[in-house]
Structure 1
Amino acid sequence: MADLDYSKLHPDTLAVRAGTERTHFGEHSDAMFLTSSFVVGSAEEAMLKFTGQVPGFIYSRFTNPTVSAFEERLAAMEGAERAVATASGMSAIMSLCLAHLRAGDHIVASSVLFGSTMQFFNNYMAKFGVEVTYASPVDLAEWHAAIKPNTKLFFLETPSNPLIDVADIRAIADIAHGAGAILAVDNCFCSPALQQPLKHGADIVVHSATKYIDGQGRVLGGAVVGSNALIEPVYLFLRTAGPTLSPFNAWVLLKGLETLGIRMKAHSENAMQLATWLEAHPKVAKVYYSGLQSHPQHALAERQQSGHGGVVSFDVKGGKDVAWRVIDRVQLMSRTANLGDVRTTISHPATTSHGRLTQEARNRAGIGDGLIRISVGLEHVGDLIADLERGFAD
């Protein structure tokens, strides 16, 4: 693949073919390099590799062929120059922030984010002198108003977790760049199969590869993707601090990428059918899914994404008691807060993924006690509907 122009290939092709690292055995499938270090032929060669004067693998904390293959493949799918893989999605966000921010800097972040992301900003970046201001993902005026002279990073998820808000990446990128800041986009819900934020003006893409990129709930992983200039500081941080993706997990994620495109199409189709059914249900107050015509950013999602993904959230009438009853009664869906799996999962965000947020923060984000989030898997959608009917039954 080294002589091919990745930019001319479809992401589905890149998911299968990009980043292949073959040994002298000529294996067809990607090899797994389970080694902590690599042997050199001489002291001089070791010096040249350690100082970066010649390329090569040294130590699996920061150089490993299997991890490199995953990084190259993911970067190609996002249309980026480079990716750095990390041990989890949260370690990707940590690596991004600690590589690019210092005490006295300021973040403008979406007010609707994964709970752990907000906890990291509020409790840990703040601890080291980095302040954060939150803005509505869909109100550009709030992003403008939040800018300070020390603003260095804009951070958003689109679609957001768990309310599927769709932010205008191009418009927010323009605001960030006008302030001299960079824009990072968490692309977890769409993956590069459905959305490529760099093409819409974002500077960096962050992934929890644990979710759709793996797709079967097997391993943890993350990545930071962007230009060489922006990713090199992240790589240097990872080389020193070591929140590293293991070669085994990288190999599993490589296999996940190979089926990502076809899985995301199937997830989206199932989710659309389930969301349509939920919207007509008398016990549902509101459905959050960008594929629905009723979604306030439906037109934007149609322009920005090639599909709407597999996560559907909805408010039930009756609040927490009814929401918990629905969750407790289902028999097919898995009661877990993970998402992106071939198996459908169901959760109550207010008491799980976003439970550590204050009530005020949940109110600001619109996460009510009656909200249920479903990550729609690849089961037959008729069986999923029947399972929810058990939950809704009087």
Structure 2
Amino acid sequence: MAENGNKGFSTRCIHAGESLDVQGGIHLPLYNHSTFAFENTGKLLDVVEGRNPDGNLYTRYGLNPTIRGLEKKCASLEGGEGCLAFSSGMAAEAATFLAHCNAGDHIICIGDVYGGTYDLLNENLPTLGIETTFVLGHELDDLPRQFREKTRLVFFETPTNPNLEVLDIRRIAAVAKTHGALTVVDNTFASPVNQQPLERGADIVVHSATKYLGGHSDLTGGLVIASAELLAPIWVWRKNLGQMMAPEVAFLLARSLRTLSVRVKAQNRSAQQIAEFLQQQSCVLRVNYPGLKDFAGHVVASEQMSGFGGMLSFVFDGDAAATAAVVDRLRLFSIAASLGGVESLVTQPITTTHYAMLPEERERRGIPDGMVRLSVGLEDVEDLIADLRQALG
């Protein structure tokens, strides 16, 4: 069980993984060291040979107190046995795939995924002999027939990017287990505030910590949370590929996590109000948000999530140019590709996250030229709605 696992979520955001240093600092300080020295060879070997699991040795290995404190905090928030911090979310995903798949193995990817993830699965991993089958969310009834003898992983986001489709974690994990495959869930959009995949049967959780966990658009990082057994081979790939998160980033991320709960809950409330506003606009064809009662995934989201998140998308009644004109008229929403920060962001998936995806594949996935994705920040929601109203007007 993760550290402080019996405490409330907000308490763990602040206290998990923290310890007083010799000066009495109330938070774990930044140890900006590449290497750590020992009093004698015996103590060095205690760390190298595993007799001192809390010893520090070399930052690329993750044996750095700032990084380890962050990892303990993140494991606690996701209810996992352990966590590994990475230089980016893509690094975390890549190491997970490489650690648990070999040449000839097979991955099933369900639903919409981030464009970079799609490229990794569709372009890069096949060169190593690892094949992926892509199953759309509405094709779940066909999922059992997609498994092969060498299917090792089932990977999906929920809610998905950019359609906010909600996939039933417990249902998918149960199917994967019967076929001897691991379930990997990207929990970036929901964050551990709103969703706990490990509690629902997932084996591994990954995050782009750049987004809600960082929350201030000032760091880049990734996380993998799982059991010690499943993390062990991922740790080797991280070490040998040099994918370690820098201590400075780990220090910033630990700072951000102390306010995670209050930030995300506020973003949940604002996103709900914005989604309801957009539903009332005649120029909006569709609003994708799990908190809307007529949204296709609302029933599953209500059972699986404790909050519906700060992300939403909508389809404007116009072509790509007309939609871009709406986006360009926004003043409080900055045009940017990321998400999860304190500032509100807007993007057209066809120009950023899914730009490299072939038009026919975007069409198959229901990502039209008129789609706009919003990341709702912490501004006053009345101001955000007023901005949207004038842009759509």
TM-score by length of 1: 0.97
Q: d(CA) in 1 for partners of 2:21 and 2:233?
A: 29
Contact 1:111 1:364 in 2 (8 A): no
> Is 1:24 the equivalent of 2:22?
yes
Structure 2: distance between partners of 1:361 and 1:253: 35
How do 1:256-275 residues align onto structure 2 when only pairs under 5 Å count?
A: 256-275=256-275
SS in 1 for 2:60: coil
1:350 and 1:7 map into 2 onto residues whose CA distance is 41
Q: Paired residue for 1:60?
A: 59
- Residues 239 and 5 of structure 1, relative CA distance in 2, 3 Å threshold: closer
* Partners of 1:363 and 1:300 in 2: CA distance: 25
Report deviation, 1:195.
0.6
SS in 2 for 1:132: strand
Summarize deviations over 1:232-285 as a string: whole Å, max 9, x none.
111122122220111111111111111111111100000000000000101100
What is the CA–CA distance in structure 1 between the aligned matches of 2:357 and 2:86, rounded to whole Å?
25
Amino acid at match of 2:218: R
AA partner of residue 17 (structure 1): H
1:5 CA displacement: 6.5
Amino acid aligned to 2:194 = L
Matched-pair contact (CA < 8 Å) for 1:316–1:323: yes
Q: What is the letter of the counterpart of residue 6 of structure 1?
A: N
- Give the equivalent residue in structure 2 for 1:194: 194
Provide the C-alpha distance between the structure 1 equivalents of 2:376 and 2:140, rounded to a whole number of angstroms.
30
In the alignment, which residue of structure 1 is the partner of 2:13? 15
Superposed displacement of residue 340, structure 1? 0.2
> CA separation in 2, counterparts of 1:205 and 1:353?
21
Q: Per-residue displacement from partner, 1:188-228 (whole Å, max 9, x unpaired)?
A: 01111111100000000000000000101000011000111
Shift of 1:139: 3.3
RMSD (Å), alpha carbons: 1.3
In 2, Cα distance between the equivalents of 1:9 and 1:364? 44
SS in 2 for 1:8: coil
Aligned to 1:151: 151
What's 1:324 paired with? 324
> What runs of 5+ residues in structure 1 fail to find an aligned partner?
none
CA distance in 2, matches of 1:142, 1:366: 19
Between the aligned partners of 2:228 and 2:288, the Cα distance in structure 1 is 36
Other-structure match for 2:286: 286
1:43 Cα offset (Å): 2.2
> What amino acid is the match of 2:20?
R
- Deviations along 1:48-100, one digit per CA (max 9) or x if unpaired, are 32232323100011211111111101101111100000001110001101111
How far, CA to CA, are the matches of 1:150 and 1:67 in structure 2?
35
Aligned to 1:139, the other structure's residue is in SS state helix
Measured in 2, the distance between the counterparts of 1:6 and 1:230 equals 22
Q: Are the aligned partners of 1:345 and 1:377 in contact in 2 as well (CA < 8 Å)?
A: yes
Give the whole-Å Cα distance in 1 for the aligned partners of 2:353 and 2:66.
Answer: 31
- Residue type at the aligned position of 2:261: G
Given residue 159 of structure 1, which amino acid in structure 2 is its aligned partner? Answer: P
* TM-score normalized by the length of structure 2: 0.97
Instruction: Check the 8 A contact 2:271/2:311 in 1, yes or no.
Output: yes
> 1:115 matched to which residue of 2?
115
Per-residue Cα deviation, 1:337-369 (whole angstroms, up to 9, x for no partner): 110011000000012111111112211211110
Quick one: distance in 2 between partners of 1:148 and 1:235? 27
Match of 1:70 in 2: 70
Residues 3, 73 of structure 2: 8 Å contact kept: no
CA contact (8 A) 1:82 1:228 kept: yes
Residues of 2 paired with 1:341 and 1:5: CA distance? 27
Match of residue 142 from structure 2: 142
Distance 2:111 2:95 in 1: 21
- Distance between the aligned counterparts of 1:114 and 1:95, measured in 2? 17
For 1:278-304, what per-residue CA distance to the aligned partner results, in whole angstroms no more than 9, with x for missing partners? 001011000000000011110110110
Kindly tell me the number of residue pairs found equivalent between the two proteins: 391
| Distance in structure 1 (CA, Å) of the matches to 2:254 and 2:216 | 13
Kept in 2, the 8 Å contact 1:84–1:231? The answer is: yes
Please report how far the alpha carbon of residue 30 of structure 1 lies from its aligned counterpart in structure 2 after TM superposition.
2.4
Alignment correspondent of 1:386: 386
Work out the CA distance in 1 between the residues paired with 2:40 and 2:367: 59
User: What residue in structure 1 maps to residue 253 of structure 2?
Assistant: 253
Q: Secondary structure at the match of 1:6?
A: coil
1:322 CA displacement: 1.9
